[in-house]
């Protein structure tokens, strides 16, 4: 099985301050009464926090109308956090709002023009075709680069991806690798996993199993399910390292526990045929039923065939993991 080497996903800091400093200062125990008093006394920097208090119902009943009021008040004062948060709400149609992708893009663009890295990144994703928007490759590429330059780790990671893939312009392998490494310095687990994949495949860099495993493990330590899955597949197939079914099932379990449906399928296979664990068709069936919940139609179909096989409806050869 070939898995995508990279992810393009909208960073939705839904109902959460978009810049790192504010994200660190907010928590479930925030004193919303104190925030409200200060905001009403004119501390405009607290408008977004107060909006979140109302929207999340921290220590009070949720009040969507008040939450939107304070977000819009902050937007009027050119608060880019508020622009990104309100854009996220418009995009998803959260809190009873009618979905409005055009309105979200306008807010992201406004935040981006004011230098907000999250606004830049979300705008890039929308130009990449996010939420069914028409693709604008050159604009997506440019905004990923701008987001990375502004300090966005997802922006830096995706800047590396688009340069390596040649999306929106010429292929720039050297520049792409530099951006991946820059994203890693910013803590991007996705970039760690991607650099591991490149070393595993010898794509644009020297094939180096030790480095591939090093970066996969680094990404796994940062809780990236995809990296955990890749480590499981490496041990299952005996690629990059010695074949070890016990180690493989351990990594697949960690990935599955974090929502990786490919890992649920792999666990189902190993339980079905008894690799790394005693064969248990009933347990395998449970695993395949978790895998069939995937949004990936190909994986859903494969998992359903496995379920049908265990129920005696079809006969099918073993499917390798990888």
The residue count of the chain comes to 322
54 neighbors 85 (Cβ within 8 angstroms): no
Residue 37, pLDDT score: 93
For residues 26 and 209, what is the distance between their CA atoms, to the nearest angstrom? 41
pLDDT tens sequence for the chain (322 residues): 334 333 333 444 333 333 322 323 445 567 889 999 999 999 999 999 999 999 888 777 888 899 999 999 999 999 999 999 999 999 988 767 889 999 999 999 999 999 999 999 999 999 999 888 999 999 999 999 999 999 999 999 999 999 999 999 999 999 999 999 999 999 999 999 999 999 999 999 999 999 999 999 999 999 999 999 999 999 999 999 999 999 999 999 999 999 999 999 999 999 999 999 999 999 999 999 999 999 999 999 999 999 999 999 976 655 555 5
| Main-chain phi, psi angles of 40, to 5 degrees | -70, -20
What's the DSSP call for residue 321?
P
Give the span between the Cα atoms of 119 and 137, in whole angstroms: 17
Of all helices (H) and strands (E), which one includes residue 34?
helix 32-40
Task: Give, as one character, the DSSP assignment of residue 150.
Answer: T
């Amino acid at each position: 099985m070939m898995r995508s080497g990279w992810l393009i996903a909208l960073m939705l800091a839904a109902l959460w301050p978009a810049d790192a400093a504010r994200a660190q200062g907010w928590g479930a125990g925030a004193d919303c009464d104190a925030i409200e008093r200060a905001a009403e006394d004119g501390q405009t920097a607290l408008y977004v926090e107060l909006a979140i208090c109302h929207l999340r119902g921290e220590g009070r009943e949720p009040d969507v109308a008040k939450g939107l009021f304070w977000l819009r008040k902050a937007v009027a004062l050119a608060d880019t956090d508020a622009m990104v948060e309100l854009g996220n709400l418009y995009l998803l149609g959260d809190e009873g709002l009618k979905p409005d992708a055009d309105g979200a893009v306008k807010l992201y663009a406004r935040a981006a023009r004011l230098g907000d890295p999250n606004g830049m990144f979300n705008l890039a994703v929308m130009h990449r075709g996010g939420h069914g928007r028409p693709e604008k490759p050159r604009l997506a590429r440019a905004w990923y680069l701008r987001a990375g330059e502004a300090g966005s780790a997802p922006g830096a990671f995706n800047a590396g991806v688009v340069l390596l893939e040649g999306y929106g312009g010429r292929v720039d392998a050297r520049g792409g690798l530099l951006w991946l490494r820059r994203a890693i310095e910013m803590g991007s687990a996705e970039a760690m996993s991607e650099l591991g994949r490149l070393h595993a495949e010898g794509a644009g860099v020297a094939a180096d199993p030790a480095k591939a495993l090093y970066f996969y493990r680094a990404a796994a330590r940062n809780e990236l399910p995809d990296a955990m899955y890749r480590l499981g597949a490496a041990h299952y197939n005996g690629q990059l390292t010695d074949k070890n079914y016990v180690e493989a099932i351990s990594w697949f379990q960690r990935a599955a526990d974090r929502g990786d449906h490919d890992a649920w399928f792999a666990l189902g296979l190993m339980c079905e045929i008894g690799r790394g664990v005693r064969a248990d068709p009933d347990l395998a069936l449970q695993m395949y039923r978790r895998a069939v919940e995937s949004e990936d139609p190909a994986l859903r179909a494969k998992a359903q065939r496995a379920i049908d096989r265990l129920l005696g409806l079809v006969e099918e050869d073993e499917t390798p993991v990888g």
